[in-house]
Chain A
Amino acid sequence: MSTHVQVMRYVRRLIAGVFLPATAAMAASGAGDWPTAAHDDAGTRFSPLAQITTANVATLRLSWSFSTSTDKGEEAAPIVADGTMFVVTSFPHRVLAFDLASPEHRLRWSFDPRPDPGARGVACCDVVNRGAAYADGRLFFCTLDDQVLALDARTGKELWRRKLGDYATGQSMTMAPLVVRDKVLVGNDGDAFGVRGFIAALDAATGQERWRAYSTGPDADVRIGSAFKPFYASDRGTDLGVATWPPEAWKIGGGSVGGWLSYDAQLDLLYHGTGSPAPGNPVQRPGANKWTSALFARHPDAGDAAWAYQTSPHDRHGYDGSNESVLVDLPIGGQPRHVLLHPDRNGYLYVIDRATGEVLSADAYALVTTAHGVDPATGAMRSEPSKEPAIDRVVREICPGSAGAKNWQPSAWSPRTRLLYLPHQNLCEDATAFEVSHIGGTPYIGMEAKMHAPPGAWRGVLTAWDPVGRRKAWTLEEPFPIWSGALATAGDLVFYGTMDGWFKAVDARTGRALWKFRTASGIVGQPIAFSGGDGHEYVAVLAGVGGWAGLVVSNDLDTRDGTAARGFVAAMKDLPAATSRGGMLYVFRLP
């Protein structure tokens, strides 16, 4: 380790000792760093820095900014480690490394992975990238054309790259990897194309694939073995990943692992969700369609599953299970429990015992017309039959719609307020189903929809959820869906961005608006907080509208067709007037 790094670490520790309260055991490498998109293995997105507080945030001002030279959705979280900030842009996924020690924050290096432009045709939800991961001097990230790359964080030199599939089949990769010990964990995208989902572990030093666990198929492929102990009876059986599908349908069954990963070092369990089944038209795939729309706990060394639970068996509306699971310890029923908080797309916030997979509570955090809650005895979701999609018939007021009550945009947890901050949307949809052929490389959905906000509701909402009290502590409404991530800090602040270009800070306890800044383009990125080498706390976010909700602007769609962007355009016809394209990194600090 060089002298420079040693000095920086000492300085950071000094700042931490002076300014910061003691943090939870799952802290990152340096307390002021942000080494992975979720900040830590538990996925809290909580910064222990408290220099910026509710008292002084009103004076927060722009410190520096940098254009990404791209004009699609910027969904990444900037990564800060080793005195450097790493930003992965939207396609073509340039990696920008900024030297935080230099006063002008010069680019130390940049890297162009040169992904294949043909992959842009199989991006369901804009050509985004959700960020890199830093570990042991290496930077890991994925590209849309199914490559995983490792760079030397110092020099930007490519250490290895591994191709995990072929985009001609419809597969892409957009997720932010997670590093556990010596392995980099990545998963694919492609439910909308009938791609069979998987999660894979690559050796961090060489890129060799150590194991791969599919989301459908025989137990051996799903890595279900003797260690598998699901809590509910409906998840027990042999080869359920085949038996709950029409013959052969599991091979094109979806279940992508394109969402968030979290890890509990004490239990040695990795947590991830699987995407929704393919095709979206449920009539074509009778059966429970395991193991799509499910949560998994796996042992990261070999990938064998410890437990699994399907949040939406025989999913009917595109409710992926791949939203984040935030690992916290909470008093439930008077007892301290090791749980995960999982705000699912189906509108329910699950509190699940992360050792066993038992659902302790599942409460609706948004308007739900498609189900009547989880049956506590069997764990099954009680679906509402009148909202079942049908061929040649239109089913109306499907709430939440196929974008879910909350989509990919990650929530943040504050151990100080004990609240989970959910950036999400109020969107229902009218939908009809039609028979769809699987033609490799083309969408395999079979649904047509138009989204709209429920009457009287605003399209965007920030919900502060109390998982112990099982209720909303407060909510904030926004005219557009909140498609950015949330950041919680020890200064009792919550940061988020809006699609019309407002970066906002609110009081974490009350939701009172405290500060806002107008950015050049709508924000769909993940805000972070970090300490620069100069004793200041910084907050950074990427602006650049896009993502599935922002396709109407990033792909210049025609607003006269409400079914465009799988129904999102019907709900976003006013976005082009409110913002325009253009990626930009913004970094803020106190004066």
Chain B
Amino acid sequence: MSFACPRTCVVAGLAALVSALPGCEREARRFDPVPIAPDARSRADALTSFAAGPPGRGMTERAAAGGYDERNAYVLAQGKRYYRWFNCTGCHAQGGGGSGPPLMDAGWIYGKTPGDVFTTIMDGRPNGMPAFRGRIPEEQAWQIAAYVRSLSGLVPDDAAPNRDDSLLGAPPENLREPARPEDKR
């Protein structure tokens, strides 16, 4: 068989390469801590799609500056790792709750924007959520906040973690649609 049609092959190869590029974003791993950018406002514009209400205390800008990125699979996987390491599962289980409220349902007592969840983790809340400021570094807290949002299906499916090796409690995060109030019963 002779290997003809070089031009077609080149075109096909380029097409495959171009279509694979978006996957880089999902897989990119940034290990250097993100410095606070001076022009945070311009990056904030890209993140307004999920803000349900007013961001609160400039948290959208803070989210951008802190490098919040819920489209990155590594960020969500690390968030899942730290969610278990720092004993979040003890009160919130795999999102179903326990002595703490559920995180996988549509009810958010203190808000579901990344900034709200970050504030909940860092500053605690009045009815028993401990404050982790000064303990969990900010970058890791953003990762955990992203993972917490994935528990109720608020992050892109291709970035959300899938079935882990533990006892299966709730469906894998990448199979969860954005939660609705009628889902939990």
| Contact yes or no, A558 B96, CB < 8 A | yes
B interface footprint on A561-588 (CB within 8 Å = 1, 0 otherwise): 1111110011000001100000000000
Could you tell me the distance between the alpha carbons of A570 and B168 in the complex, rounded to whole angstroms? 11
Q: CB-CB < 8 A to A557: which residues of B? A: 96-98, 101-102
Q: CB-CB < 8 A to B127: which residues of A? A: 117-118, 120-121
Tell me how far the C-beta of B149 lies from the nearest C-beta in chain A, rounded to whole angstroms. 15
Could you tell me the distance between the alpha carbons of A442 and B86 in the complex, rounded to whole angstroms? 8
A80 at the interface (CB under 8 A from B): no
Q: Which listed segment binds B: A26-34, A363-371, A428-436?
A: A428-436
B163 at the interface (CB under 8 A from A): no
Q: CB-CB < 8 A to B87: which residues of A? A: 436-437, 439, 442-444
A124 at the interface (CB under 8 A from B): yes
Tell me how far the C-beta of A434 lies from the nearest C-beta in chain B, rounded to whole angstroms. 7
| Contact yes or no, B166 A564, CB < 8 A | no
A273 at the interface (CB under 8 A from B): no
| Contact yes or no, B169 A450, CB < 8 A | yes
Q: Which of B91-116 contact A (CB under 8 A)?
A: 91, 93-102, 104-105, 107
| Contact yes or no, B99 A121, CB < 8 A | yes
Known contacts A555-B97, A564-B97; A443 and B167 CB within 8 A of each other: no
Could you tell me the distance between the alpha carbons of A569 and B90 in the complex, rounded to whole angstroms? 14
Q: Which of A123, A450, A555, A565 contacts B167 (CB 8 A)?
A: A450
A4 at the interface (CB under 8 A from B): no
The residue of chain A having its C-beta at the shortest distance from the C-beta of B168 within the complex is A562
Q: Which of A392, A441, A555, A560 contacts B98 (CB 8 A)?
A: A555
A559 at the interface (CB under 8 A from B): yes
The residue of chain B having its C-beta at the shortest distance from the C-beta of A123 within the complex is B99
Q: CB-CB < 8 A to B56: which residues of A? A: none
| Contact yes or no, B166 A432, CB < 8 A | yes
Tell me how far the C-beta of B20 lies from the nearest C-beta in chain A, rounded to whole angstroms. 34
A449 at the interface (CB under 8 A from B): yes
- 15 A-B residue pairs with CB within 8 Å: A117-B128, A121-B99, A168-B130, A392-B165, A432-B166, A439-B87, A442-B87, A450-B167, A556-B97, A558-B105, A559-B184, A560-B95, A561-B95, A562-B168, A563-B169
Q: Which of B69-102 contact A (CB under 8 A)?
A: 84-87, 89-91, 93-102
| Contact yes or no, B185 A563, CB < 8 A | no
Could you tell me the distance between the alpha carbons of A126 and B99 in the complex, rounded to whole angstroms? 7
Could you tell me the distance between the alpha carbons of A517 and B169 in the complex, rounded to whole angstroms? 36
Tell me how far the C-beta of B55 lies from the nearest C-beta in chain A, rounded to whole angstroms. 26
| Contact yes or no, B99 A561, CB < 8 A | no
Could you tell me the distance between the alpha carbons of A524 and B33 in the complex, rounded to whole angstroms? 51
| Contact yes or no, B93 A565, CB < 8 A | yes
| Contact yes or no, B99 A563, CB < 8 A | no
Is chain B's interface secondary structure helix, strand, loop, or mixed overall?
loop
A269 at the interface (CB under 8 A from B): no
Could you tell me the distance between the alpha carbons of A556 and B102 in the complex, rounded to whole angstroms? 8
| Contact yes or no, B166 A434, CB < 8 A | yes
Q: Which of A442, A560, A577 contacts B130 (CB 8 A)?
A: A442
Could you tell me the distance between the alpha carbons of A126 and B126 in the complex, rounded to whole angstroms? 17
Tell me how far the C-beta of A396 lies from the nearest C-beta in chain B, rounded to whole angstroms. 10
A122 at the interface (CB under 8 A from B): yes
Q: CB-CB < 8 A to A392: which residues of B? A: 165
B170 at the interface (CB under 8 A from A): yes
Could you tell me the distance between the alpha carbons of A505 and B167 in the complex, rounded to whole angstroms? 40
The residue of chain B having its C-beta at the shortest distance from the C-beta of A280 within the complex is B90
Could you tell me the distance between the alpha carbons of A150 and B107 in the complex, rounded to whole angstroms? 39
Tell me how far the C-beta of A565 lies from the nearest C-beta in chain B, rounded to whole angstroms. 4
- Could you list which residues of chain B lie within 8 angstroms of chain A, going by C-beta atoms? 84-87, 89-91, 93-102, 104-105, 107, 126-130, 135, 165-171, 183-185
Chain A, interface size category, equals: 35 or more
Q: Which of A514-540 contact B (CB under 8 A)?
A: none
Tell me how far the C-beta of A55 lies from the nearest C-beta in chain B, rounded to whole angstroms. 43
Tell me how far the C-beta of A571 lies from the nearest C-beta in chain B, rounded to whole angstroms. 13
Q: CB-CB < 8 A to A449: which residues of B? A: 167
| Contact yes or no, B96 A561, CB < 8 A | yes
Could you tell me the distance between the alpha carbons of A171 and B86 in the complex, rounded to whole angstroms? 18
| Contact yes or no, B166 A561, CB < 8 A | no
B interface footprint on A141-175 (CB within 8 Å = 1, 0 otherwise): 00000000000000000000000000010000000
Known contacts A121-B91, A450-B169; A561 and B102 CB within 8 A of each other: yes
Q: CB-CB < 8 A to A448: which residues of B? A: 89, 166-167, 169
Q: CB-CB < 8 A to B171: which residues of A? A: 560
A179 at the interface (CB under 8 A from B): no
Residue from A118, A434, A557, A559 having most chain B Cβ neighbours under 10 A: A557
| Contact yes or no, A445 B90, CB < 8 A | yes
Known contacts A117-B127, A121-B99, A558-B102; A443 and B166 CB within 8 A of each other: no
Known contacts A117-B128, A120-B127, A555-B97; A561 and B104 CB within 8 A of each other: yes
| Contact yes or no, A560 B104, CB < 8 A | yes
Could you tell me the distance between the alpha carbons of A556 and B98 in the complex, rounded to whole angstroms? 9
Q: CB-CB < 8 A to A444: which residues of B? A: 87, 90
Q: Which of A119, A192, A576 contacts B90 (CB 8 A)?
A: A192
Tell me how far the C-beta of B99 lies from the nearest C-beta in chain A, rounded to whole angstroms. 6
Q: CB-CB < 8 A to B105: which residues of A? A: 558
The residue of chain A having its C-beta at the shortest distance from the C-beta of B88 within the complex is A442
Tell me how far the C-beta of B33 lies from the nearest C-beta in chain A, rounded to whole angstroms. 23
| Contact yes or no, A442 B102, CB < 8 A | no
Q: Which of A434, A443, A565 contacts B97 (CB 8 A)?
A: A565
Could you tell me the distance between the alpha carbons of A556 and B106 in the complex, rounded to whole angstroms? 12
Could you tell me the distance between the alpha carbons of A192 and B91 in the complex, rounded to whole angstroms? 10
Q: Which 9 A-B pairs have the closest CB atoms?
A: A121-B128, A443-B90, A561-B96, A564-B96, A563-B169, A561-B170, A442-B87, A558-B102, A564-B93
Tell me how far the C-beta of A377 lies from the nearest C-beta in chain B, rounded to whole angstroms. 38
Residue from B128, B135, B168 having most chain A Cβ neighbours under 10 A: B128
Q: Which of B85, B89, B126, B184 contacts A560 (CB 8 A)?
A: B184
Tell me how far the C-beta of A81 lies from the nearest C-beta in chain B, rounded to whole angstroms. 33
Given A436-B87, A558-B102, A565-B97, 6 more contacts at CB 8 Å? A125-B99, A445-B90, A551-B99, A560-B96, A561-B170, A569-B96
A332 at the interface (CB under 8 A from B): no
Q: CB-CB < 8 A to B168: which residues of A? A: 562
Could you tell me the distance between the alpha carbons of A98 and B128 in the complex, rounded to whole angstroms? 32
A394 at the interface (CB under 8 A from B): yes
Q: Which of A119, A121, A561 contacts B129 (CB 8 A)?
A: A121
